[in-house]
Amino acid sequence: MDKDKIFGLFDFEGDEEGMDETYQPSTELKIYQDTATFKIGMFIKIIKNHEVFHQKLEKFFEEEIGGDFIQNESKEFSKLTTYNRAWHYIKDVDIDDKDHIFEILGYEYNFPNALPKYLNMLIKFYEDREEYLRCAHLHKIYTVLNEGK
């Protein structure tokens, strides 16, 4: 593994004093961000982090004040924000692209059950909101997973 290649993904264009204003991801990073692997990974990471955060928050408040702190409205707002951000990534996964199918199945092989679990969560969420076009797209990805097993 060449550390220069890894750190080269995060090169800055411009001088170091103005890094925050002139940061441009390298071409390699931009290319990687357009892959189905990246998009699926971000989709899963966003939802998983959301779940872990809520579990820790509920445990904290239960231990500290001995009660249920999260109202249904705040949970729903949190889900809406998180799931819409996750949708931002998964919407670009194209099951008509054989490379995307390969990446979907590869991700499921390396991290079993994560993708179908989170796809089902989003399908249920968007069904309740009657956003059926999103459900259809998510269901197509789910079907590819089941056919590939």
Residue 131 CB-density burial (10 A; 0-12 exposed, 13-18 middle, 19+ buried): middle
Distance CA 129, CA 101 (A): 28
Radius of gyration of the chain (CA): 19
Is residue 12 a contact partner of residue 24, using CB atoms and an 8 Å limit? yes
Domain boundaries defined on the chain: 1-33, 34-148
Q: What is the model's pLDDT at position 6?
A: 60
Q: What is the pLDDT of residue 149?
A: 59
Smallest Cα–Cα separation from 141: which of 109, 107, 122, 116?
116
What pLDDT shows up at residue 33? 87
Q: Mention every residue, 6+ apart, whose C-beta is less than 8 A from residue 122.
A: 47, 83, 86, 87, 90, 134, 138
48-56 long-range contacts, Cβ below 8 Å, gap at least 24?
48/114, 48/118, 50/78, 50/79, 50/82, 54/78
Per-residue pLDDT of the chain (149 residues; tens, 9 = 90+): 565 556 555 554 544 554 555 567 788 888 888 888 899 999 999 999 998 887 787 777 777 766 655 555 667 778 888 999 999 999 999 999 998 898 888 877 877 888 999 999 999 999 999 999 999 999 999 999 888 65
- pLDDT at position 51 is 87
pTM summary value: 0.72
Residue 97 CB coordination number (10 Å): 12
